[in-house]
Amino acid sequence: MRRVVLDANVYVSALLAPTGSPAQILERWADGQFDVIVSPLVLAELERVLRRPKFKRSIPVVQVDALLSALAEEGVSAADPEVHPGATPDPGDDYLVALARAADAECIVSGDTHLTQLSDPRPPVLTPREFLNSLG
């Protein structure tokens, strides 16, 4: 089974635009087409972001709760890895690379240019559309 790390922006975009590529990624995950790797830090960041006041009107709390529960119960849990600064131009993204490497992820899926524009990243970073295309 393919193992991937999804950036928080993929989850947020999926809830904001239910017909877009990120939402389709979550549907494919729910259908069992790949495994999503999560860690305590990933879940905490996602909860913090999704509960921001600016999302209260556009993302119902019940959707946030359902997503967080599904990830906690059905995601592949990994320990928070040791983060080595400098993997990305944005220090806040370094943990995604560390997690993906530590959990042997096939790729990171992100819409963040700090990640998508890395030269020769290990593992590769795919945009949501690229990842969907790779699923066939």
CB atoms within 10 A of CB 43: 16
Q: Provide the number of structural domains found in the chain.
A: 1
CATH label of the domain that carries residue 22: 3.40.50.1010
11 — pLDDT class (breaks 50, 70, 90): very high
What is the reported pLDDT for 81?
Answer: 94
pLDDT digits (tens, 9 = 90+) for 51-106: 999 999 999 999 999 999 999 999 999 999 999 888 888 888 899 999 999 999 99
The pTM of this model reads 0.95
Residue 97: partners with Cβ closer than 8 Å, 6 or more residues away? 87, 88, 108, 115, 121
Residue-range definition of the domain harbouring residue 78: 3-135
- Token code pair at residue 49: 């972001």
What is the reported pLDDT for 66?
Answer: 97
What is the reported pLDDT for 91?
Answer: 82
pLDDT digits (tens, 9 = 90+) for 32-54: 999 999 999 999 999 999 999 99
Residue 67: closest CA among 107, 18, 34: 18
